Amino acid sequence: MDGGQSSTTAVIGDGEGRVVGWGSAGSCNHVSAGEARAKFLRVIGECIAEAAARAGLASPRDGHWHFSAACMGMSGGLDDKAALLAELIDSPELMVTHDAMIALAGATAGEPGIVVIAGTGSMAFGRNAAGETARAGGWGYIFGDEGGAFDIVRQAVRAALREHEGWGPRTALTPALVAATGAAEPNQMLHLFYTPEWPRSRVAGLAPLISRIAEEGDVVAQEILHNSAQHLASLVSSVRRQLWNETDSLLVSWTGGVFSSLLLAQKFRDLLQEDGQITCMEPRHSAAIGALLLAWRTGKVVPVL
């Protein structure tokens, strides 16, 4: 299962290494309050039930889904989620891990390497052949997440404000952002971003606009994307230093909406491939399939994906 901040996906495989069922539901994140606990159990239960129905599995009479092995990749903290998942799943091999672990397993089809995750925020996670793991980034929007969608928009807003106040270069970002927010001018736009109507996710949703303006030739927007690609490449370098020698060959993949920007994705790959030891590859599978691969590995099942 991939339990994320925006959606939840469950995939069920059989003992022959084949995918037999899948399901999806809304966000299952944030489980501290009583209502959130109920929501978590409901979303997870609905997601598993949908996947089980497609797999031809009957609903359990005792209220627990029984699997020979299960891997649940969750965003946020894990301690409370592990206890809650045990209320729904009965498995001798229940692995509750973070979403970066399953993203890497899916991207590289279980091979050692590094995955860069750049959605609203950003981080990199790696595992070497010895099973050692390391991460870099993922500090949140206040102290980090450079190269993530929110940070890209934040840089663009800064550029628009600098132009508006006369201490920054002209950029097509200014009128585009003002129009996208319905503001009258950049200062009003800034104050909109501090209101509840513009949460981080909505602000981050403007990142494709910055990418489009960069592709149209705006130098300021291009510089923002290039800087973001550099930050993401630096996360790879940090994880690499923690787990590999400089002469070791390395597989790097990526996931997240930020990489839908062709300019950013290409710059990111170019920066990494300057080092002849690094091989960049498109992600082979989703994070949910990555979780299933880890469950299969625990159950000693060879997948046929």
Report the pLDDT value the prediction gives residue 45, as an integer from 0 to 100. Answer: 86
In this structure, is the dihedral angle defined by the CA atoms of residues 29, 33, 39 and 41, taken in order, positive or negative? positive
Q: What is the mean pLDDT of residues 157-179?
A: 95
Tens digit of each residue's pLDDT (9 = 90 or more) over 229-246 = 999 999 999 999 999 998
Q: Burial, 74: exposed, middle or buried (Cβ in 10 Å; 0-12, 13-18, 19+)? A: buried
**Average of per-residue pLDDT values in the chain:** 89
Tens digit of each residue's pLDDT (9 = 90 or more) over 250-302 = 999 999 899 999 999 999 999 998 888 999 999 999 999 999 999 998 877 77
Helix (H/G/I), strand (E/B), else coil: 134: strand
> Going from the N-terminus, what domains does the chain have, and what CATH number goes with each?
2-109+285-298 (3.30.420.40), 111-283 (3.30.420.40)
Cβ-count burial 170-183 (b if 16+ within 10 Å, e if not): ebbbbebbbeebeb
Contact at 8 Å (CB) between 288 and 1? Answer: yes
Phi, psi torsion values for 242, nearest 5 degrees: -75, -25
Tokens representing residue 286 in the block: 């989703």
Whole-prediction pTM value? 0.86
